Structure 1
Amino acid sequence: MVIYDNKEWIETIVNFYRSYIIRQIFRSTLLVGLITAVLSFIVMEVLQLQIKFHSNVFSLLGIVLSILLVFRTNTAYDRWWEGRKLWGGLVNNSRNMALMVHSLLEGQATEDRNFYAKHIANFAIAMKEHLRKGVKLEELHHLDPVEQKIYQSRQHIPNHIISQLYERTQQLQKNGTISGYDAIPLKTHLQAFTDILGACERIKKTPIPFSYSIYIKTFIMLYTVILPFGLLEEFGYYTILLVMFIFYAFIGVELMAEEIEDPFGLDCNDLPTGNIATTIKNNTYEILCLYAEVEKEDEKELYEKVF
């Protein structure tokens, strides 16, 4: 995610080139401008055609296209915002669970405190990578050789981590460290972990229908191709600039929607799930009085488009 101050809007506009999606839009717009220039030259200078299209046709098509793009953008943003709310819920549930464990365990129960802190933190880190291209075991904290071997044999590591937390909670209940009433809210938070993970997987594995996405892109391209024929007679070579501007507006909305519909990756507009996972780790270790494991969060830009 690109970090910026939305109050400094002039500086934000000046540094717009930092966004990968803006650079992609500019490249596409320049290509359309070049094609329009060649087409305009052929029609006006070589063939010397007099092509007339009523402007109302393009106005009507533009309205239809705008409605489709509004729906497309709203749908994509809803997915992005739902993902952010789910990760916010993960932060809250992680903190609440750590607070409950801290209040239930004695200060001398270092092993149990370490276990819960380690696995709550590792769940957030594992979930972050699980929603991308797979969990990277080297990013997980304090895995001994035996655990690494077990983790390598698991296809769904976040589920395995939750299973370990359930087993430890059940073990503490059986040996009398915590009561059955105390175990109930702990298991409720663990269930919330599973629900959040499942909801994120739903977003990840259910993209916008392919036909809908292709239809909008095809509509934009066809509209851009025929638009010069309706503008050449009145605007001449200024048609090139007008077509580029209109294409910039339409394709920009479509590409931005396309990027944010999967909010868990490393695109410049995706959610800062890495930062959130680090926050969960630091908060959990601090709550459980394991200050040596708290690390300073990196405030620099951590996310960029993966080519």
Structure 2
Amino acid sequence: MIVYEANKSWLRDVRHLWVSYTMKRIMQHTLIMGAITAVIAFLTLDVLQLSPWKIDGSVFSLLGIVLSILLVFRTNSAYDRWWEGRQLWGRLVNDTRNLAVMAHAALPDEDLDTRRFLAVHLANFGYTLKEHLRKGVQLEDLIFLSPEEHQLYASKAHLPSFLAWQIQHRIQQSFRNGDIAGEDHLNLKVHTQALLEVTGACERIRKTPIPFSYNVYLKLYIMVYTGILPFGLIPHFGYFAILFVMFIAFAFLGVQLMAEEIEDPFGLDCNDLPTGDIAHTIRKNVFEILEVRHVENEPEKNLYQKVF
């Protein structure tokens, strides 16, 4: 995700556009439309020297209004998906923090093992969900996996569910052992359930794109509109029509391609959500809340210690 400071520097913000893959695609399509318009203008005005058929400009105005309405719906739909994804990851941060705070307060002071377990598994849940919504979980990204856990995780088709079960199972064990009171157990259950609720909602966004027919129809409309636009502008503006066609194509193609970029907000495009940074935030927060830290150069059984 491109990080910038709003209301600081107009020109500096515009400069960020050129690092976007989508913006490069927009420019490529715009230049292609400019080249096509230039060829049509050259053939019409210089080579064939035809008397161009002048099309009433109001036709393009009406078509442009219809196209604008469709693009507004398209971008609103894409942005709603992007914003819902951000809300879901914000909820995940809040629920992991609340779960860590409640567990830390409910558990006996001497129960360091459960605190260690929850810190590691809550952190790994964020990393797992991040990659699960992309191309599949990379076990190398998870922290403090033993060889047995690595082998076990590799056999799971839906690792976020398994991690959520491990967290819930460990809390359930503490409740059965009398380490957690009944009221605290009910309060913790709400936040453990939220892990899979967030996962399911993110999967719904990820696996339900904009309807294919609507997407293709809009692309076809843009292609036809920009394709006939040179024939309507060249008779009125001559070679200056090249600039006008490029500008109009830049506007319409840009809106469409930017909507395509953000409709799946969990990827690695420049304007996708910073889920990797959010997962790191979850890890940092839960380790701090549960007062657990990693101790370098220690045997594996002493990878953590409580910080007072």
Name the TM-score, length of structure 2 as normaliser: 0.93
Counterpart Cα distance in 1 of 2:268 and 2:121: 24
Match of 1:86 among 82, 85, 88: 88
One-letter amino acid of the structure 2 residue matched with residue 6 of structure 1: A
Aligned to 2:303: none
1:186-224 superposed Cα distances (whole Å, 9 cap, x missing partner): 111011111111000000000001111111111111111
User: Any conservation in 1 of the 2:70–2:218 contact (CA below 8 Å)?
Assistant: yes
One-letter amino acid of the structure 2 residue matched with residue 5 of structure 1: E
Counterpart Cα distance in 1 of 2:215 and 2:112: 53
Counterpart Cα distance in 2 of 1:149 and 1:225: 56
Aligned to 1:3: 3
1:157-190 superposed Cα distances (whole Å, 9 cap, x missing partner): 0000001111111111111111222111111101
Aligned to 1:300: none
Aligned to 1:304: none
1:37-59 superposed Cα distances (whole Å, 9 cap, x missing partner): 11111122222222111111100
Counterpart Cα distance in 1 of 2:2 and 2:234: 40
User: Mind listing any 5+ residue stretches in structure 2 that lack a counterpart?
Assistant: 297-308
Aligned to 1:255: 257
State the secondary structure of the residue aligned to 1:159: helix
Match of 2:193 among 191, 194, 203: 191
Aligned to 1:39: 40
Aligned to 1:114: 116
Match of 1:275 among 277, 282, 285: 277
Counterpart Cα distance in 2 of 1:212 and 1:53: 29
User: Any conservation in 2 of the 1:285–1:293 contact (CA below 8 Å)?
Assistant: no
Aligned to 1:28: 29
State the secondary structure of the residue aligned to 1:291: strand
Aligned to 2:304: none
Counterpart Cα distance in 2 of 1:217 and 1:145: 50
Task: Using the TM superposition, give the Cα deviation of residue 293 of structure 1 relative to its aligned residue in structure 2, in angstroms.
Answer: 7.2
User: Any conservation in 1 of the 2:54–2:232 contact (CA below 8 Å)?
Assistant: yes
State the secondary structure of the residue aligned to 2:294: helix
Aligned to 2:288: 286
Aligned to 2:221: 219
Divergent runs of 4+, >4 A:
none
One-letter amino acid of the structure 2 residue matched with residue 33 of structure 1: G
User: Any conservation in 2 of the 1:282–1:293 contact (CA below 8 Å)?
Assistant: no
Name the TM-score, length of structure 1 as normaliser: 0.93
State the secondary structure of the residue aligned to 2:37: helix
User: Any conservation in 2 of the 1:80–1:263 contact (CA below 8 Å)?
Assistant: yes
Aligned to 1:71: 73
Counterpart Cα distance in 2 of 1:238 and 1:78: 38
Match of 1:139 among 128, 138, 141: 141
Counterpart Cα distance in 1 of 2:151 and 2:234: 68
Task: Using the TM superposition, give the Cα deviation of residue 27 of structure 1 relative to its aligned residue in structure 2, in angstroms.
Answer: 1.1
The Cα RMSD (Å) is 1.2
One-letter amino acid of the structure 1 residue matched with residue 45 of structure 2: M
Task: Using the TM superposition, give the Cα deviation of residue 105 of structure 1 relative to its aligned residue in structure 2, in angstroms.
Answer: 1.5
Counterpart Cα distance in 2 of 1:117 and 1:87: 18
Q: What is the aligned length? A: 294
The reply to whether residue 265 of structure 1 matches residue 267 of structure 2 is yes
Aligned to 1:153: 155
